[in-house]
Amino acid sequence: MAPILHARVPGSAPPPAIQHGPGRTPAPATPRALVAGIGFRHATTADEILSLLAEGLRQADRPGAHLAALATAEDRADDPAIRAAAETLGVPLVAIGVEALREAGRRVVTRSVRIEALRGVGSLAEAAALAAAGPEGRLVLPRIASAGATCALAASGDALSS
């Protein structure tokens, strides 16, 4: 199974480095690692998440890009669909706590009234992607949606290894 990493709350110890596949360590290079933030409803399948992610990479003009991690809300990280999607992709799943989501939520560009009422952020997908990408992360693709999921892409401050 894909490992679950937990993002830090602002002011706490630094998070573990984003993993770039089994046994690989990030090395200075370009382009920047991409993190996909995923929001989803309980009945959403791994296939729907994977299809939406593929569409997001296409829309961002990065269909062959290396994905460093999937990120979602901590309370959803044990859902079989998101775990299966991460496992299929061979990337870690980053669980983002409430405080880290809200901190990153200050930088989201999309506002969903429903998600703002439930989560305190305008877009769970954007906040999760930005939180996992780190303080130097930036949105590459604002939230897109399917029937049961949302996806946003953020470039991290970490460069990919070759």
pLDDT digit string, tens, across residues 7-29? 543 333 333 333 333 343 333 33
The answer to whether residues 154 and 138 touch, using CB atoms and an 8 Å cutoff, is yes
At residue 112 the predicted structure's pLDDT band, cuts being 50, 70 and 90, is confident
Per cent of the chain over pLDDT 70 is 78
At residue 105 the predicted structure's pLDDT band, cuts being 50, 70 and 90, is confident
Average pLDDT score over residue span 66-76: 95
Mean pLDDT of the chain: 82
Per cent of the chain over pLDDT 90 is 59
Distance CA 56, CA 69 (A): 14
Residues 6+ apart with CB under 8 A from 61: none
Tokens of 128: 């999760």
The Cα-based distances of 95 to 19, 113, 115, 138, 158 in angstroms read 14, 23, 17, 18, 18
Whole-number pLDDT of residue 30: 45
pTM of structure: 0.79
Residue spans of alpha helices (H) in 26-148: 46-59, 80-89, 98-105, 113-119, 124-133
Tokens of 121: 């952020």
Whole-number pLDDT of residue 31: 56
Residue 126: how many other CB atoms lie within 10 Å = 31
The answer to whether residues 83 and 49 touch, using CB atoms and an 8 Å cutoff, is no
The Cα-based distances of 52 to 9, 85, 114 in angstroms read 28, 11, 20
Query: Domains of the chain by range and CATH?
Result: 1-6+52-157 (3.30.420.180)
The answer to whether residues 122 and 142 touch, using CB atoms and an 8 Å cutoff, is no
Find the range with the poorest average confidence among 27-31, 43-47, 118-122.
27-31
